[in-house]
Amino acid sequence: MEPLVVLQFAAPVAIAAVGETVCQRGGIINIGLEGTMLAGAFFATLTSLATQNPWLGILVGIAAGTIVSLISSWFTVKLAADQVVVGTAINLLAMGVTSTLFRSRFGQSGQLLSVPGLKPFAVIPYLGPIDGVVLFLLLSIPLVRYLLWGTTWGLALRASGEYPKSAEAAGFSVGKLRVGAMAIGGLFGGLAGAYLSLGIAGTFAENMTSGRGFVAIAMVTFGRWRPGFVFAAALLVGFAESMQFRVQTLNLHIPFQFLVAAPYILALLVLVIVGKGSVAPAALGVAYKREK
Amino acid sequence: MKRAAITIVGLATILILTLLVFNLPLANSLGFLAKGAFGDKFAIARTILKTVPLTLTGLGILVAWRAGMYNIGGEGQFIVGGIAGAWMAKSALQANLPAPAITVLILVACMAGGAGWAGIAAWMQVKRGVEVVISTILLNFVAIQLLNYVAAGPLQEAKKQLPLTDLLPAQVMLPKFDRQTDLHAGIFIVLAAVALVYVYLFLTKGGFRLRLVGENPRVARANLVNAHSVQFRAMLLSGALCGLAAGVEYTALAGQLGAGFSQNWGFLAIPVALLSNLHPLLLLLSALYFGALFSGSENLARFTTAGTTLIYVIQAAAVLGFVALRSIADKKPVQTEAA
């Protein structure tokens, strides 16, 4: 299989995971990533269907993801609520809203739509097709790396993930930093979802993200909170996912269900192998409240 | 009293707002919902039948969360519990045991299966520091594929036509009160489970330790409570309860396993548990509310474009509202986390 095709399969998880890296570096574990992706996938599909323009779809998908993420951050940052509880509720909300709207527009059973999808702009010999979103993914890795390690904002954000008091003492608002990180995470999450529906599936289906948001979170841990490693980790999952299609053509006698489960099993195995370790942001998952 | 009033008004507001947001005719929709949930004895029976798995899986979630283990894998534990039960049914039926013994064995196997599946996540958390919230959801997806595999492979029906397990013989099924409504003896199992979890959590030393580990790990450590073993046990109990839910569904209603075995029970259970404020007795009310909403929305789906997926919206809004209210009401001096 051509390498860029594997990259294509890996892209939704990879994009979401790169965004999640920013959130987690700032101290927020965005459990609602799954819902963010689902919202992106759904509203991208709707827009592309209505306007016949997949790029508009991608943009609306990004906007939807960002909005979902900002709603989530209002609870986790502003109200300092439990991040797991809020994330779980956000996932439910996205699943409920997208499924209900989908059924009311396209019928209870959910028909297959044919949606104007994203086309590759070039086919590179030996490597395969490449489209705008995959290109963006490749460019975003050094960009996020620069953002986190090359800018003052990135330094302050990492401080708010390690020891929030120090960021506050230096005159930064942990709240603003974290909301900013969540906006970036939402942008990436929405794009990841939009690419899943418009770039890969060419349609929307209820709950179509099927755990990719959680796989992405697992890949952030596996990639040790570094964009480059996180991307490489996501490639591994993309490879496992593309195996489903490859093994069928190779006619090996592996139960199909095992192949579908393979990305999840892989994610679990790598988590067991690497463990949490000591490099995780120290204040990850801990709400910050200013002392009064 | 005040909190009860706020809860009822809040839930009613959320329901109405949700219907309005999705552009449904308000009065008619409320009518369909009420009729589907309480309209006649069949509707009431359906509501109770949906409350049964919601309560059992809800209790499972509750026990784990009380110990600070964010188990969101009730779905996977439910499914693997069912698989273990179906496997036990196959072996026990071949061994020609008396019917009541087979039923008990199936239920025990379901609990063991659920506990085992939760045990994987517990082990990962305790020994490898892998967050339960991530591992349990990944295990859900593995469980779904495992079910698809066994239902089309090792445990497939004798006719080998559909991806379903063999139907349990009638004498192995849990007894039913009457033929019309499907109400079954599993209701007693549910009531017993609620009582037992309540007694365990609030009246035993083990339950006290479990709550202590969840609420204040530092105090637990200072008192030489082994948090890891407490959390491990909480997860096993949690998985066993989710497995029991599957056992009751299997032996009382479904009689066989296939892709649609779980109607997202393990998933719906999370908000059910959260809205009960993790209290077993309130959980029964919370499960009843969402059980009613479930059967009501099935009726709604017959007459409007909206259906059972509305429950997710209402659940999510309720949890978020609950979280917001509690955060705003929380005027205690803030504990800032030190390294």
* Rounded Cα–Cα distance for residues B211 and B215 (Å): 6
Contact A275 B323 (CB under 8 A): no
Question: How close B204 gets to chain A, by Cα (Å)?
Answer: 27
Contact A104 B271 (CB under 8 A): no
> Which residues in chain B have their CB less than 8 angstroms from residue A288's CB?
336-337
Contact B337 A82 (CB under 8 A): no
Contact B140 A211 (CB under 8 A): yes
| Res B331: pLDDT | 52
Model confidence at A168: pLDDT above 70: yes
> Which residues in chain A have their CB less than 8 angstroms from residue B134's CB?
214, 217-218, 221, 271
Query: pTM of the entire structure?
Result: 0.91
Confidence class for position B335, pLDDT limits 50, 70, 90 = very low
Q: Does A233 touch chain B (CB under 8 A)?
A: no
Confidence class for position A108, pLDDT limits 50, 70, 90 = low
Q: List, in sequence order, every residue forming a beta bridge with B176; answer none if it has no partner.
A: B184
For chain A, the average pLDDT equals: 90
Contact (Cβ atoms closer than 8 angstroms) between residue A87 and residue A32: yes
For chain B, the average pLDDT equals: 91
Q: Choose, out of A92, A163, A279, the residue to mutate when testing the contact with B (most B CBs < 10 Å).
A: A92
Q: Chain A residue with minimal CA distance to B323?
A: A81
| Res B333: pLDDT | 44
- The CA distances from residue B54 to A14, A234, B74, B272, in Å, are 35, 35, 11, 7
Per the structure block, which two tokens stand in for B54?
């919601």
Question: How close A31 gets to chain B, by Cα (Å)?
Answer: 8
Contact A276 B128 (CB under 8 A): yes
Contact B314 A96 (CB under 8 A): yes
| Res A121: pLDDT | 85
Contact (Cβ atoms closer than 8 angstroms) between residue A132 and residue A54: no
Model confidence at A225: pLDDT above 70: yes
| Over residues B255-277, mean pLDDT | 92
Q: Chain A residue with minimal CA distance to B302?
A: A108
Model confidence at B336: pLDDT above 50: no
Q: Chain B residue with minimal CA distance to A89?
A: B316
| Res A1: pLDDT | 67
Q: Choose, out of B18, B72, B120, B130, the residue to mutate when testing the contact with A (most A CBs < 10 Å).
A: B130
- Angle at which helices A174-194 and A3-25 pack, to 10 degrees? 160
Tens of pLDDT along B67-113?
A: 999 999 999 999 999 999 999 999 999 998 999 999 999 999 999 99
| Res A241: pLDDT | 83
Tens of pLDDT along B12-55?
A: 999 999 999 898 889 999 999 999 999 999 999 999 999 999 99
Share of chain A above pLDDT 90, in %: 64
Query: Chain B, 26-85: which have a CB under 8 Å from a chain A CB?
Result: 70, 72
Query: Chain B, 238-297: which have a CB under 8 Å from a chain A CB?
Result: 270-271, 274
Q: Choose, out of B24, B134, B228, B263, the residue to mutate when testing the contact with A (most A CBs < 10 Å).
A: B134
Q: B137: closest CA among A209, A106, A110, A122?
A: A209
Q: A182: closest CA among A71, A278, A90?
A: A71
Q: Choose, out of B297, B298, B323, the residue to mutate when testing the contact with A (most A CBs < 10 Å).
A: B323
- Total Cβ atoms within 10 A of residue A167: 25
- Strands (DSSP E) contained in B49-206 are none
Q: Does B301 touch chain A (CB under 8 A)?
A: yes
Q: Does B328 touch chain A (CB under 8 A)?
A: yes
Q: State whether ipTM is beyond 0.85.
A: yes
Contact B130 A272 (CB under 8 A): yes
Question: How close A125 gets to chain B, by Cα (Å)?
Answer: 36
CA dihedral A94, A134, A211, A79 (to 10 degrees): -50
Contact A96 B137 (CB under 8 A): no
Among the partner residues B128, B148, B307, nearest to A108 by beta-carbon distance:
B307
SS (H, E, C) chain A: CCHHHHHHHHHHHHHHHHHHHHHHHCCCCCCCHHHHHHHHHHHHHHHHHHHCCHHHHHHHHHHHHHHHHHHHHHHHHHCCCCHHHHHHHHHHHHHHHHHHHHHHHHCCCCCCCCCCCCCCCEEECCCEEECHHHHHHHHHHHHHHHHHHCCHHHHHHHHHHHCHHHHHHCCCCHHHHHHHHHHHHHHHHHHHHHHHHHHHHCCCCCCCCCCHHHHHHHHHHHCCCCHHHHHHHHHHHHHHHHHHHHHHHHCCCCCHHHHHHHHHHHHHHHHHHHCCCCCCCCCCCCCCCCCC
Which residues lie below 8 Å from residue A60, measured CB to CB, with a gap of 6+?
A43, A44, A46, A47, A194
| Res B306: pLDDT | 79
Confidence class for position B339, pLDDT limits 50, 70, 90 = very low
Share of chain B above pLDDT 90, in %: 76
Question: How close B182 gets to chain A, by Cα (Å)?
Answer: 26
| Over residues B185-212, mean pLDDT | 96
